[in-house]
Structure 1
């Protein structure tokens, strides 16, 4: 990639980052072309040519994605508050836009989200964000750490990865009910299978909350487990969920063969440090752990 192209793409990335950080603010053509330092008379076409998505559609999808997370995972926020934060002056206007894009009323999505339709709706946004200008990693981005054993409470997700949102809703509700909310309790995900190579019905992921309390099995089928002690290769990942797969690919394809290390006897896992939508999506931080021998 030439230095000129890198500079051009960095200006476009600056726009995406600005949108993430200012979803509550005015995101019109004048503002965003100014962030990129491009002429407003050409910026619409430049954005469309780069991301295959019109600028106003990208902004709308970014706002509606945050709204969908707030509806599904932040039950203390009212629909009116979420609508106003998404740039809609009235709940009715928000409801129409949300139904048009996501296929459900906000109230219906809050109680019973259609995650498969949700994935279809936001695929163009995810493609624009992560596949046009993917994050690149270098060997210096990987740290080798010795981690202590961490006892955890586990809620298992089994089945179609597109339905993980439903399990996350149950997990969040359980954590609140027992007082194991972040940052009191660290959050881990253990990736037992790779969604790219595993049939949907066989996909397996553990949602974990760090705790040394005794685990009482209840209707949510929470069980006790542990993140084991040992050496790990750790890669810090910034941004949304779609950034985890290329980060894992870098660890396995590039870093591990060149490192001389051997993988250990525990699956790839991550710790969630900051969470979207509590922070802007480009400020969400996850640490990816590859256990080593």
Structure 2
């Protein structure tokens, strides 16, 4: 797809994500993309594999599903109305059509399982000392397969970050290609210094979005100020504010358990995920330099008190 079309569709996606409570019309999105409604509809569908209106409908109802699980005591009606549904019957029909369950059934079936509360297993300190050099103080949990995963947890104020990005559609496992293209664009512009920061911003929850081909994420590079972009590269500001931050030492297969652990800790600390702010992973090391080729990553989720 021509880069003009990619940038136009990306602007539309950002606008939709900021307006889930009052969804934009096709004509409004087309105007934002500087296209006719007919041309925009065809362009968006070719890029994302679903029409703009289907994308909006799916994002709204899957966001509702995510909020049902992240805030289990929040009334279903409150979630429905904050996402702009006109009535509970409309929301209930839409939810059951998408998930095959009522909202309450979905919440009961998919609620977070109990865990060991982050207690250290008896053999945690039998591993080489070098393994722990990255995280101190640490907690350790044992995840599926008997794997020990080290992490720290805190709630803190995170600053806003200006970023350039390349949007990725599909499995989060394959976002590496978007990072490679972003680095090729950034290098000749002098953006890759020794203190460069990279992060991935996630717009979907893989536990909720059944088709991983529909997942949307952004490969990002922090920049000191707004800069002019071109091609498929865009610019925006990652939100700041109060965040729950889990610093994890993980292999590629351990990212999902890390996210699950952080979500559980948020609830245990009297918090819930906040709406309208970015969720992201901030990468802190080169895994090729780690003794076990693991990532040191801050998983950052916006939070507010329950």
Query: 2:147 aligned with 1:134, yes or no?
Result: yes
**Count of residue pairs brought into register by the alignment:** 175
The match for 1:259 among 269, 272, 280 is 269
Query: 2:263 aligned with 1:248, yes or no?
Result: no
Aligned to 1:270: 281
C-alpha contact 2:143 2:257 (8 A) present in aligned 1: no
C-alpha contact 2:164 2:222 (8 A) present in aligned 1: yes
> More strand per residue: 1 or 2?
2
| Alignment root-mean-square deviation, CA | 3.2
Distance in 1 between residues matched to 2:244 and 2:215, nearest whole Å: 24
Aligned to 1:288: 299
- For 1:193-208, list aligned pairs within 5 A: 193-198=204-209, 199-208=211-220
- For 1:1-293, list aligned pairs within 5 A: 6=121, 11=126, 13-14=127-128, 131-135=144-148, 141-181=152-192, 183-198=194-209, 199-219=211-231, 221-252=232-263, 254-264=264-274, 265-282=276-293, 284-293=295-304
Aligned to 1:96: none
C-alpha contact 1:9 1:133 (8 A) present in aligned 2: no
Distance in 1 between residues matched to 2:176 and 2:236, nearest whole Å: 22
C-alpha contact 1:215 1:223 (8 A) present in aligned 2: no
Distance in 2 between residues matched to 1:197 and 1:16, nearest whole Å: 37
Structure 1 gaps of 5+ residues are: 19-128
SS of the residue 2:147 aligns to: coil
Distance in 2 between residues matched to 1:196 and 1:182, nearest whole Å: 36
1:271 Cα deviation from its structure 2 partner: 0.9
C-alpha contact 2:252 2:294 (8 A) present in aligned 1: no
Structure 2 gaps of 5+ residues are: 1-115, 133-141
> More helix per residue: 1 or 2?
1
Distance in 2 between residues matched to 1:236 and 1:171, nearest whole Å: 25
TM-score after normalising by structure 2: 0.49
TM-score after normalising by structure 1: 0.51
